[in-house]
């Protein structure tokens, strides 16, 4: 009987030792394999891997139902996919002919390494637009630029920023990185100095051009005169030289393109609510043509109107674009 107890005791000791070894091995494997991945860790224990039947999650970048104007280019922003276990591959089916009005769809099939797949579809409408809206924002970056960029990204709208030397460098970089047009509005925006002489103007313009260049690598040649080309405030500082008549020609001689606007939001002239800005803008849009909208991203109430302006525009068949050197310039008459 005592022998039998001894045997049981010995077996118990052996069992505990084995368990102890397994436990230590487990800690070792965990430490070692945490450098590899969870699948390796599990297979090292000879435990069958749970079946992976979870497909990747996929979101469409830039919206699942978008309008593209006839004759422009369609830029596919693709999808963002996540899988809990493996890498994924993305297959894309479908094409968009932006030279033919119609409804197109693009299918994105995202498959993980265990064969689970998720398919999402983007509808792309190529349409003859009601008109083109160029949203433009002067005098920034400022306190509201970040929120504005968020709204533009949410609706996949590209805009134009006529920047100064004010505000955060990071915002200028964001504007550029997120595909907007970074244009120039002078560095100081100080009427009394910039309109005192052509040299003073061009020196100030070069300063903001360099700011953008240093931050983004991009040399912008798109400009807007503070006060617009039609301003008469320059008469106070130019000593009677009719500086705007000279500058309007000279900037073009130097390879710049200047833009005014044909839709004003009033956000720098008495309109001080998002509702007021919205009303002014949507009532002044140009069906069948180009609308260059003037707003200021240093005015919170103006930035707060942007989302509704975008929704109105999209709902009424407008497309949104950023300004480039070949865009409609909305020139005013020069008055000085």
Binding residue count for Zn ion, defined by CB under 5 A? 3
Out of 83, 112, 138, 139, pick the active-site residue.
138
**Using omega within 30 degrees of 0 as the cis cutoff, is the peptide bond preceding 141 cis?**
yes
118 or 329: whose CB is closer to Zn ion?
A: 329
The piece of 98-106, 132-140, 302-310, 311-319 that touches Zn ion (CB under 5 A) is 132-140
Kindly report the number of other CB atoms within 10 A of residue 334's CB atom: 20
Whether residue 120 contacts residue 80, with contact meaning beta carbons closer than 8 Å, is answered with no
96 or 163: whose CB is closer to Zn ion?
A: 163
Instruction: Find the shortest distance in angstroms from Cβ 292 to Zn ion.
Output: 14
The piece of 19-27, 41-49, 131-139, 208-216 that touches Zn ion (CB under 5 A) is 131-139
Whether residue 172 contacts residue 141, with contact meaning beta carbons closer than 8 Å, is answered with yes
Concerning whether 296 is annotated as a catalytic residue, the answer is yes
Instruction: Find the shortest distance in angstroms from Cβ 236 to Zn ion.
Output: 16
Whether residue 120 contacts residue 72, with contact meaning beta carbons closer than 8 Å, is answered with no
Instruction: Find the shortest distance in angstroms from Cβ 217 to Zn ion.
Output: 25
Between the CA of residue 62 and those of 85, 219, 252, 308, what are the distances in Å?
26, 27, 36, 18
Out of 180, 185, 189, 296, pick the active-site residue.
296
Q: Supply the angle between the helices 198-216 and 169-177 in degrees, to the nearest 10.
A: 70
152 or 184: whose CB is closer to Zn ion?
A: 184
Instruction: Find the shortest distance in angstroms from Cβ 294 to Zn ion.
Output: 9
Instruction: Find the shortest distance in angstroms from Cβ 57 to Zn ion.
Output: 44
Parallel, antiparallel or unpaired: strands 88-93 and 102-112: antiparallel
Instruction: Find the shortest distance in angstroms from Cβ 168 to Zn ion.
Output: 18
112 or 238: whose CB is closer to Zn ion?
A: 238
Q: According to the 3-state scheme, what is the secondary structure of 31-62?
A: HHHCCCCHHHHHHHCCCCCCCCCCCCEEEECC
| C-alpha to C-alpha distance for 325 and 9, rounded to whole angstroms | 90
Concerning whether 83 is annotated as a catalytic residue, the answer is no
258 or 318: whose CB is closer to Zn ion?
A: 258
112 or 297: whose CB is closer to Zn ion?
A: 297
Tokens 């052509």 correspond to 198
88 or 194: whose CB is closer to Zn ion?
A: 194
Q: Which of 55, 68, 110, 139 binds Zn ion (CB under 5 A)?
A: 139
- 79 class by beta-carbon count within 10 Å (0-12 exposed, 13-18 middle, 19+ buried): buried
Instruction: Find the shortest distance in angstroms from Cβ 197 to Zn ion.
Output: 20
Residues in contact with Zn ion, shown as a per-residue x/- string from 169 to 208 under the rule CB under 5 A:
----------------------------------------
Closest CA to 92 of 76, 75, 74, 72: 76
Contact between 138 and Zn ion per CB under 5 A: yes
Residues 204-233 close enough to bind Zn ion by CB under 5 A:
226
Kindly report the number of other CB atoms within 10 A of residue 276's CB atom: 17
Residues in contact with Zn ion, shown as a per-residue x/- string from 90 to 129 under the rule CB under 5 A:
----------------------------------------
Q: Does residue 333 sit in helix, strand or coil?
A: coil
Parallel, antiparallel or unpaired: strands 102-112 and 117-127: antiparallel
Which sequence positions are flagged as catalytic? 138, 296
Binding site for Zn ion (CB under 5 A): 138-139, 226
């Amino acid at each position: 009987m005592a022998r039998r107890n001894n045997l049981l005791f010995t077996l118990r000791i052996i069992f505990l030792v084995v368990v102890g070894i397994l436990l230590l091995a487990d800690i070792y494997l965990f430490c070692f394999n945490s450098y590899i991945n969870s699948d390796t860790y599990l297979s090292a224990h000879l435990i069958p891997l749970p079946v992976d039947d979870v497909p990747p999650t996929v979101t469409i970048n830039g919206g699942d139902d978008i309008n593209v104007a006839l004759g422009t280019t369609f830029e596919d922003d693709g999808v963002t996919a996540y899988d809990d276990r493996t890498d994924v591959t993305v297959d894309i089916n479908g094409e968009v002919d932006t030279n033919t009005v119609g409804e197109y769809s693009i299918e994105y099939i995202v498959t993980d390494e265990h064969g689970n797949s998720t398919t999402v579809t983007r509808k792309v409408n190529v349409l003859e637009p009601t008109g083109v809206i160029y949203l433009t924002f002067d005098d920034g970056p400022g306190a509201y630029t970040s929120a504005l960029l968020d709204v533009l990204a949410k609706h996949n709208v590209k805009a134009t920023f006529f920047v100064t030397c004010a505000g955060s460098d990071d915002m200028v970089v964001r504007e550029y990185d997120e595909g907007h047009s970074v244009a120039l509005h002078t560095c100081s925006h100080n009427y009394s100095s910039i309109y005192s002489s052509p040299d003073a103007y061009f020196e100030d313009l070069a300063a903001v051009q360099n700011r953008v260049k240093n931050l983004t690598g991009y040399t912008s040649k798109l400009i807007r005169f503070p006060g617009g080309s039609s301003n008469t405030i320059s008469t106070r500082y130019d000593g009677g030289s009719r500086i705007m008549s000279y500058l309007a020609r000279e900037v073009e001689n130097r390879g710049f393109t200047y833009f005014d606007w044909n839709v004003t939001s009033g956000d720098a002239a008495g309109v001080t609510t998002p509702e007021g800005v919205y009303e002014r803008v949507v009532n002044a849009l140009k069906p069948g043509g180009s609308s260059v909208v003037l707003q200021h991203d240093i005015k919170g109430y103006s930035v707060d109107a942007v989302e509704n302006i975008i929704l109105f525009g999209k709902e009424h068949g407008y497309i949104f674009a950023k300004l480039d050197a070949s865009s409609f310039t909305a020139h005013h008459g020069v008055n000085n």
